[in-house]
Copies of this chain bind each other. A is one copy, B any other.
Amino acid sequence: MLRFSIQRSARAVFRAGASSGALLPRSFAPSLTSAMRIPNSLQYSTKLPPKLTSESYPNIERLASFKKLAADDMTFFRSILSESEILLATEDEDLALFNEDWMRKYKGQSKVVLRPKKVEQVAQILKYCNEQKLAVVPQGGNTGLVGGSVPVFDEIVLSLTQLNKIREFDPVSGILKCDAGVILENADSFLAQHGYVFPLDLGAKGSCHVGGVVATNAGGLRLLRYGSLHGTVLGLEVVLPNGEILNSMNALRKDNTGYDLKQLFIGSEGTIGVITGVSILTPPRPKAINVSFLGVDSYEAVQKVFVQAKQELSEILSAFEFMDLNSQNLARKHLKDVPHPLEDEYPFYILIETSGSNKEHDDTKLEAFLEKAMEDGTVLDGVVAQDETELRNLWEWRESIPESSQAGGGVYKYDVSLPLKDLYSLVEAANEKLNEQGLLSETDAAKPVISAVGYGHVGDGNLHLNVAVREYTKDVEKALEPFVYEFISSKNGSISAEHGLGFQKRNYIGYSKNDQEIKMIKQLKSLYDPNAILNPYKYV
């Protein structure tokens, strides 16, 4: 099904020493589509259902201060919600879709899912739960990677799925206002009709919600070009744990009147409020996109190419991704008959994307940059996509790594920030550690770990370390944690660049944040959620 048709003639253009002709990409439709991305929440990362979180982590106890769901609670919920807005667990239906995370590492035991269609209902639900001390997990598309969006015990799931309307779009300013439950891809498709683009893109775009990416402060693939959500989100509508509604949806691009409250909720992972509406500034949709896939011989070369790309491609550079050989080997297995973009093997690969308003100019800039990089020997081989299909296929070799990593059974995912020079050293250290402990073998099925691979957004100092395993075992977890976190801390990195803390990293914030910061984070949690009903057992 997946065709891959890079023309070898085009490929030759960027072979070291070859002359650069007029073989740059033909024009193609300006937008990426999302072939082979996660189509919906029903597709889990692995087919093995997870154990209950309470069994996997027996040292975590249900907080006694929380009330257990009772008949009178259901009477209240039924008084404000319709039939279709309440899902109840039955003997045949354990609400797995809402209790299990996408990676199938965690499983909660919630008996009820509330799916309100109005902000006022969200406010009523939270007010009631706060008064009754009923714990609540806000849930968007449930594509999170740290177990942050599923219950740990019997928390009520508050799903934003049915709060899913585009509210308003202004084609002069580019400001989009929408409900939190709008699926990211739907928001982007809507914007495409008006010549604009959502300033964030990520693999889960077909399932994840706009509100969810804001609550997670997702970074994704376009951060290099459009910056973080802290800069692009203009206003939020948030329901606080006590049911009060904080509304800054009318905010304009510039407003310096008072503390910028909305910022606290960007990346708060549903622990101090439930985001119900988002106002965001969207940039004009690029008219031309180029993608190039390169082979280099060291991580030093990756860094060198990055500096060159920033200088030469500057305002049109929209993605700079690197992948190690192991990650491509996993992808090769997963994508089976598809030929790799580059014939020979290289220790590192780079994907460069440019997005601009003038195809001819972008081609010239990319050509000049690649010529230079080939001439000085930094880049050893490379191809440039000639049409949109090729462009998608090149991206596929980057975007299929997460799925390829878990295809053998499961995957431990670490999403970290490190100073650029130290970025890859974590992958080397992890491999060494797993090897030392005799846990790693690509071929020996008796070993739990298949491969530890590294890839990510060099432009943002963001590394994804994926440890592909045949099964989740305590041995592997013990070898990796806190080792990985200690390593990151020793380099002044962040233990979570974009996935968040959730359940997985709740105990490890101390590796990224100092005591003063943690104290102030806890202080804010107590300020807004004194009964701690929102997303308990997580974050901090």
Return the CB mask of A512-540 against B: 1 if under 8 Å, else 0. 11101110110110010000000000011
Nearest chain B residue, comparing its CB with the CB of A244: B516
Tell which of B259, B313, B521 touches A524, judged by Cβ atoms closer than 8 Å: B259
Q: How far is the CA of A267 from the CA of B517 in the complex (A)?
A: 19
Indicate if A228 sits at the interface (CB-CB under 8 A): yes
Q: How far is the CA of A171 from the CA of B364 in the complex (A)?
A: 26
Across the interface, do A266 and B260 meet the contact criterion of CB distance under 8 Å? yes
Q: How far is the CA of A518 from the CA of B460 in the complex (A)?
A: 35
Stretch at the interface among A46-54, A76-84, A442-450, A499-507: A499-507
Nearest chain B residue, comparing its CB with the CB of A234: B228
Tell which of B228, B248, B462 touches A517, judged by Cβ atoms closer than 8 Å: B248
Q: How far is the CA of A358 from the CA of B362 in the complex (A)?
A: 10
Across the interface, do A494 and B258 meet the contact criterion of CB distance under 8 Å? no
Across the interface, do A256 and B462 meet the contact criterion of CB distance under 8 Å? no
Cβ contacts under 8 Å, A219 to chain B: 254
Across the interface, do A230 and B497 meet the contact criterion of CB distance under 8 Å? no
Tell which of B284, B520, B539 touches A246, judged by Cβ atoms closer than 8 Å: B520
Indicate if A377 sits at the interface (CB-CB under 8 A): no
Across the interface, do A230 and B260 meet the contact criterion of CB distance under 8 Å? yes
Indicate if A409 sits at the interface (CB-CB under 8 A): no
Indicate if A121 sits at the interface (CB-CB under 8 A): no
Indicate if A264 sits at the interface (CB-CB under 8 A): yes
Cβ contacts under 8 Å, A203 to chain B: none
Quote the shortest CB–CB distance from A321 to chain B (angstroms).
14
Q: How far is the CA of A245 from the CA of B55 in the complex (A)?
A: 41
Stretch at the interface among A36-44, A90-98, A304-312: A304-312
Indicate if A492 sits at the interface (CB-CB under 8 A): yes
Across the interface, do A494 and B267 meet the contact criterion of CB distance under 8 Å? no
Tell which of B231, B244, B255, B501 touches A231, judged by Cβ atoms closer than 8 Å: B231
Stretch at the interface among A176-184, A344-352, A417-425: A417-425
Across the interface, do A267 and B261 meet the contact criterion of CB distance under 8 Å? no
Tell which of B232, B314, B355, B461 touches A252, judged by Cβ atoms closer than 8 Å: B461
Question: With A315-B316, A356-B314, A461-B253 in contact, do A258 and B540 touch (Cβ < 8 Å)?
Answer: yes
Query: Which residue, of A216, A245, A251, A252, has the highest number of chain B Cβ atoms within 10 A?
Result: A252
Across the interface, do A417 and B255 meet the contact criterion of CB distance under 8 Å? yes
Across the interface, do A252 and B517 meet the contact criterion of CB distance under 8 Å? no
Quote the shortest CB–CB distance from A247 to chain B (angstroms).
7
Indicate if A437 sits at the interface (CB-CB under 8 A): no
Indicate if A365 sits at the interface (CB-CB under 8 A): yes
Cβ contacts under 8 Å, A499 to chain B: 256
Quote the shortest CB–CB distance from A169 to chain B (angstroms).
13
Across the interface, do A257 and B492 meet the contact criterion of CB distance under 8 Å? no
Across the interface, do A245 and B509 meet the contact criterion of CB distance under 8 Å? no
Q: How far is the CA of A258 from the CA of B357 in the complex (A)?
A: 37
- Chain A stretch 355-410: residues in CB contact (< 8 A) with chain B: 355-358, 361, 364-365
Q: How far is the CA of A287 from the CA of B496 in the complex (A)?
A: 35
Cβ contacts under 8 Å, A251 to chain B: 494
Indicate if A295 sits at the interface (CB-CB under 8 A): no
Quote the shortest CB–CB distance from A508 to chain B (angstroms).
8
Across the interface, do A357 and B314 meet the contact criterion of CB distance under 8 Å? yes
Cβ contacts under 8 Å, A263 to chain B: 230, 260, 263-264
